[in-house]
Amino acid sequence: MNTIFKTILPFTALICAVPAVQAATTDGKTWGVSAGWLHIMPQGEKQGVSGNTTALTPVLGAQQASSPGAGFEVQDADTAGLMLDYFVNDHVSLELVLGAPPEMELSGKGDISLPVVGTVAQLDQFNKIATTDAYTPTVTARYHFGSIENRIRPYLGGGVMYAHFSNVEADPAVNNELKNRNPLVGALLNPELGKIKVDDAFAPVVTAGLDVNITKNWFGTASVSYAHLSTTAKLNVIGNTQIIGANIPRDTILEGRSKIEINPVVTYLGIGYRF
């Protein structure tokens, strides 16, 4: 969370500092706030899984592992959104977009294989591989067309999104697959997923939308945005580090990573108030 605050605060300070440059609008209203609903539609496709077995892995030892036909895809999600606008003048505004962090589901595609032993997991059979909370504060600059008194005002804009992922949790069914898919692997290694981490990322954003003035202060708003966002998921598999013996020690036996394309199209529908 500290990283998120460190990212948002400079942008918030910039918005608050803008009035010092003699901002002015025809109607004297320079701030706007709206609340509504965000629908997130990821467009990315699987990017392959790569990694390596560690020296602690019985029989195999340290070897490179690659499954280019496998990977992860993020599913659609919905969440509440909050947008804060500062109008520099009648046509230019700066906007901070926040949202309640949605729980994003990651589905699996393809098979994960290891050298010698072959397929150890078929990802397609799971409705979801893991879930994660996604924090995506976004700052954009927008240009509004037409007069500020027009009932309908379209706009175009662009900016940057910061994405932070937390509370990544794997579906317990994945462990059953790891243990049962390949009897040799299950018997020798007794594998189970360890910690999964999804890296933070920045992404450029473009947006288009329109505001509909309901009264002098209240307005409805709708927009569609696209963010060119990708990140990397890192995971490790924990298993037996000896084949036989009492109190067999367990440690990381496989380290893997996969690029995750998200590239979301985000729609927003809300109602706001200008002052």
**For 196-246, how does the pLDDT look when each residue is reduced to its tens digit (9 = 90+)?**
899 999 999 999 999 999 999 999 999 999 999 999 999 999 999 998 888
**What class has domain 2-6+30-274?**
mainly beta
Cα 58 to the center of its chain, rounded Å: 36
What is the residue whose two structure tokens read 């602690």? 56
User: What percent helix, strand, coil does the chain show, rounded to 5?
Assistant: 15, 55, 30
Regarding pTM above 0.85, the answer is yes
Tokens of 24: 């002015």
> How many Å apart are CA 115 and CA 49, to the nearest integer?
14
DSSP at 110: S
Beta bridge partners of 168: none
CB 89 within 8 A of CB 80: no
Q: Who wins on pLDDT, 32 or 181?
A: 32
Q: What is the 3-state secondary structure (H, E, C) of 200-261?
A: CEEEEEEEEEEEEECCCCEEEEEEEEEECCEEEEEEEEEEECCCCCCCCCEEEEEEEEEEEE
Tell me the pLDDT tens digit for each residue of 158-171: 999 999 999 999 88
The mean pLDDT of the chain is 89
> How many Å apart are CA 102 and CA 133, to the nearest integer?
6
32-46, 53-67, 134-148, 223-237: the lowest-pLDDT one: 53-67
Handedness of CA 148, 154, 160, 162 (dihedral sign): positive
Mean pLDDT of 78-107: 95
Tokens of 224: 């569609």
What is the residue whose two structure tokens read 């300070």? 13
What is the residue whose two structure tokens read 């009897």? 183
DSSP at 124: G
Strands 152-170 and 201-213, sheet pairing? antiparallel
> How many Å apart are CA 42 and CA 48, to the nearest integer?
17
> How many Å apart are CA 221 and CA 38, to the nearest integer?
12
The pLDDT value given to residue 182? 84
CB 164 within 8 A of CB 3: yes
Q: Which amino acid is at 39?
A: H
